[in-house]
Chains A and B, each alone.
Chain A
């Protein structure tokens, strides 16, 4: 931490040195802005002529330009910008060298003839442009613009999300961001839209979408909407993430970029481990030969378990965007392609707690460690994204557009685990290879029709399909024998898993805007219907080593190890696939809403109404008739009112208040009484699970001084009825202990949020901070010594924060933007405070991830007119991620890094610095 502050301090000193220059005398300066939006026209050239000289100045980030050291005399100023009407030449005079003259240009956009084409372009892609969107929006939003995203050190949407106020990210095992936690509400409580339309998730268990599927360069802007209105889908409590993809441009657009990089984690001593992707059998023996086929070891390839080393694999990314507009600008199209091939990894130490706490030395409920896992992850992620939009203006007021998006992420992961059975000197060596293919295809056809002057219809038809496949996840193990240096073959597991999630949806919105000048009313009425079908397949084989004669088999290598099913019948698909993880389910959501918007007076905008959503979920498993819960349906209807008030204190300041009611639906598998293997504990579905209902209150003050500057401060309060949380359930045998999603009374979540962005000349500072506090009470198991029963346990209540919620999260970015030489730089620091990362079934033994600050740096430098070089450096300080349990460490603990007196460090992950540099071409 110390090092960050030192760094920032020197950075700030540099900023102030630069800032002092602007105080010089003999100056002509001013701003160049869009006459309508007030957006600064960054990069425009202002020409100053007079006294036999010509000077040029470039408009900077805050819209300002300046000429310094100008001798007294008469001057003329002009500026021209493509797409803007030529502004008249302005004459001015400097009477003495100490005088400062301010000359502002307000430029008229040449879009009059395009007004009927309902397309907005440059405005919404820039930083200042999105400020206008935030200011004018009816809801509470935070937006990242295309230009901001381009300059961010991040290449995926998930990582970019952490820069948004109030958002923290949940990382995958390789350190890559995956899910967003918005205002302390974990991924379950948020939804994801693409261009305002819900997309299905390829996740095998959950309905929320892994945000690392999306390359961030495909976006025009990223909106995080924190208050809902009746016309929006109501299943978000933390917020809605709306990915607005690039639109067809007004004129020919061609841009391309390519980059290379590496992760400094990998070296000859810690190489990247790769496996033969071709050896992964896409189909299980049961899929190939039928469920009655009795598989043997010969049916399972070994090639995908032979790892080979790459010392320093190179990351590559490439992107291409082409767009244009034809037929008097009526037909527009854009095609964007993005490719990323990234090798990442992590070194992870993890203490595995024993399945239940113990009474040790007369201390109750002590967690004891059974294993120490030292894991090396090597993950190659290949992302491919394609999106395409075609819009056509049929007639003035009538446009139709077709949007297609395809994103794919193939993840090849090798994991080696050295498992030293704690204290026993016994070690296991696990090797796992896993390939996951995930994709989302979404196609929407959209129409916008202005029927009468006051009447507007908008419709959307959606087909979307999300898929995931994990074919042949294979893991084997060998264990140290009593004779040092010798090993014994252990079990091998092979799992095939696949799921698809398909949506067919239709949306219809009718908007009526009667001409009542003072009230400016807008009445909307609409609805949607979505039919979703989901299929899951799960096939799990467990092979055990063949005995050599009557003794355990000595290990040589994976190719010579001999395995069998015992008994042999366990190799048949009838046993391995017949599990409640294999199911089909569907969900029909129909919704209707009535929404009104009007001006209460000149300064007060009122938006409100109600939405009704009806949900019907059904599932069907492959289980026999004797199985309770083999199929079922559940349905519910919710009435969801909302009210948003926006009061304009001045034209640059708003005061907002909002209330909305929203819901969270259980995930598909959560209502199916299945048992799935979890990371730490098995998880079983709960057929009596109810959906959650949340009442959300928001208050926010906003100030948009000029340009991209902003200051926001707000507070929120949420009451969540029937929140879904995992808690311990124990029935049956000793291993029949699992976590089950359950409803627990009411949860409360409140906090404050502040955002400040300030540009001064070439420098900018952007910061946000969110304080969140949530509370929920759930059941836990507590072990103690009873005078009669001996060691036993009881169920107790415990109040704790909601999973994923950090009390403090914040961002601080320092920006440098020099349009003259075309250099942009950004130093970005993101801090996520201590948060509950995994709920334990046991009292006070939850896992907390300690606060973590990550420092990233990025730059982009223009070279000539068309090219620029850019670079992104992530995790400059190699910040480790640490997980603790709040219990004093065992004095005999051999785990490193036990620097705390009252908590035990049970997990530590190291990712190291990653570097990416590239070249961008733009026509």
Chain B
């Protein structure tokens, strides 16, 4: 581990000397251990370990557990169809090795058949939110959860008490993915998460790297898409969020285990579209939230038609002295959004976000003189201004589609057009925390460094690869 980290940090130092580049890191290569092949002849049930073989379809018929010390390796192209609201419980390790060409699916086929991503679906009847299977739940003994080019869909059916007792959760818990080992690593890169009920991904604590993923329709009426709690350290970058119930990315130090590190997350170059509208609690639903004792960074994020802008929460207070942010880009079709680019107290959001000179739009153009964070202001001047010019996403959103009606990527394309005002406005003068090893199997394949174009898609083709 230490070797990896030293190697990685030095690499980053070298890399950061260059003005702007995307470094493909490929340091250590470890052999995938020779594992027992898992048969697809009958639905899986009970304890499993070994390797799911490339291209095969497996049915999970009831709860499966990967016992402590065991590993489940999923080879490229595996399709897992989960039935009977079963869950996958990981006390050992799970490594899913999809590729761009051979993606892995963990899904519910019967719901997949009903998928409808046309705008403005009624969430009460949308199968995305119906909770088809329990989810991927890691116990505090799980040292490693690796998801590469993997789709996780329709989770969050709500744990039974028996399921909950495996991973120390109460019944009714409805996450799609849970990770909860402060010393374990959780890597999710180039992957997808679709649907869900409560927090689609709850990271109670751990060392994480979540890169170049796409999240859609996450959480029905509450739930933060990437909800990190006390003792989580790592990076979130180049992710695309569409139609998330509450926040896209949240950092909080709540529930920190004794002796664990403070939550510290660096978030850069993410794109958020129409997030926060389904959250039933007033004042919540930004795209990035720093809460209760958390620290970190937030740069180069692109936020379009979300309920609130970047939110630094004052009660309980985030570790405000140790949060750095800037170069964040806001677009607003509605005055509701425009008036909350900097969340206001009147908006019941308890805002503590200090406007930055590098923000787009320039705050001098609409904030009154003597503005103090949390104050109410009139966002009319920036309404429908600064269209980021996506490849294929009409802005302003046509009148017949309410802002909250945009819930999934559908056939949109959120890459920037060459003339976009977001291009070249990014800040690259910081480094990732890089707390997980670089590895094509037991770590992250690539940590994409901060990019100069705001948002998840870089004009040069780097960043998020889902297009």
Contacts and interface: CB of A to CB of B under 8 A. Distances in A.
B292 interface: yes
Contact of B261 (A368, A550, A570, A790): A790
Interface stretch (B14-22, B340-348, B378-386, B457-465): B340-348
Contact of A791 (B258, B293, B347): B293
A781 B169 contact: no
Nearest to B165: A627
B158 interface: yes
Residue from the set A550, A552, A564 with the largest chain B CB neighbour count within 10 Å: A550
A790 B295 contact: yes
A791 B280 contact: no
Contact of A569 (B157, B259, B281, B292): B157
B124 interface: yes
Given A547-B278, A627-B165, A736-B255, A570 B158 contact: yes
Interface string B379-412: 0000000000000000000000010110100000
A624 interface: yes
A790 B293 CA distance: 10
Nearest to B345: A425
A821 interface: no
A790 B264 contact: yes
A424 B349 contact: yes
Nearest to B293: A791
B131 A569 contact: yes
Contacts of A424: 283, 315, 345, 348-350
Contacts of B316: 354, 358, 368, 370
A379 interface: no
B66 to A, nearest CB: 15
Interface string A704-742: 000000000000000000000000001111111100000
A47 interface: no
A791 B131 contact: no
Interface in B57-76: none
A579 interface: yes
Contacts of A480: 282, 348
Interface residues of A, number: 66
A551 interface: yes
B162 A547 contact: no
Contacts of B148: none
Interface in A476-494: 479-482, 488-490
Interface string A549-581: 111110000000000101111100011101110
Nearest to B166: A626
Interface stretch (A211-219, A767-775, A792-800): A792-800
Given A569-B85, A733-B169, A733-B204, A578 B123 contact: no
B281 A791 contact: no
B102 to A, nearest CB: 31
Interface stretch (B2-10, B28-36, B170-178, B415-423): B170-178
Contact of A423 (B156, B178, B222, B350): B350
A792 B260 contact: yes
A732 B278 contact: no
A737 B170 CA distance: 12
A356 interface: yes
Interface in B315-336: 315-317, 319, 322, 336
Contact of B120 (A422, A550, A794): A550
A734 B220 contact: no
A734 B172 CA distance: 16
B160 A551 contact: no
A732 B256 contact: no
B68 to A, nearest CB: 14
B197 A624 contact: no
B256 A792 contact: yes
Given A733-B255, A790-B319, A795-B258, A488 B280 contact: yes
Interface string A791-831: 11111000000000000000000000000000000000000
A546 B129 CA distance: 12
Contacts of A795: 258
Given A575-B158, A731-B140, A482 B282 contact: yes
Interface string A526-552: 000000000000000010111101111
A550 B407 contact: yes
B65 to A, nearest CB: 9
Given A626-B165, A733-B202, A479 B281 contact: yes
B153 to A, nearest CB: 14
A284 B261 CA distance: 44
Contact of B292 (A358, A490, A547, A550): A358
A349 B440 CA distance: 57
A408 B65 CA distance: 49
Contact of B255 (A422, A568, A623, A735): A735
A217 to B, nearest CB: 45
A552 B280 contact: yes
Contact of A793 (B140, B256, B319, B348): B256
Contacts of A594: none
A81 interface: no
Contact of A792 (B171, B261, B322, B346): B261
B11 interface: no
Contacts of B404: 549-551
Contact of A425 (B230, B258, B262, B348): B348
A355 interface: yes
A360 interface: yes
Nearest to B157: A567
B425 interface: no
B279 interface: yes
27 contacts: A355-B254, A356-B254, A368-B316, A369-B315, A370-B316, A421-B350, A423-B315, A425-B350, A482-B348, A488-B282, A546-B124, A547-B221, A549-B122, A552-B278, A567-B156, A567-B158, A568-B130, A579-B171, A623-B161, A623-B162, A675-B170, A730-B258, A731-B140, A734-B252, A790-B322, A792-B256, A793-B259
Interface of B: 85, 120-124, 129-131, 140, 156-158, 160-162, 165-172, 174, 178, 180, 197, 202, 204, 220-222, 229-230, 252-262, 264, 277-283, 292-293, 295, 314-317, 319, 322, 336, 345-350, 402, 404-405, 407
Given A552-B221, A794-B259, 17 more contacts: A358-B293, A359-B293, A368-B316, A421-B315, A423-B350, A425-B348, A426-B348, A479-B282, A480-B348, A547-B220, A549-B120, A550-B407, A566-B131, A567-B158, A578-B162, A623-B165, A736-B169
Interface of A: 354-356, 358-360, 368-370, 421-426, 479-482, 488-490, 542, 544-547, 549-553, 564, 566-570, 574-576, 578-580, 623-624, 626-628, 675, 730-737, 781, 789-795
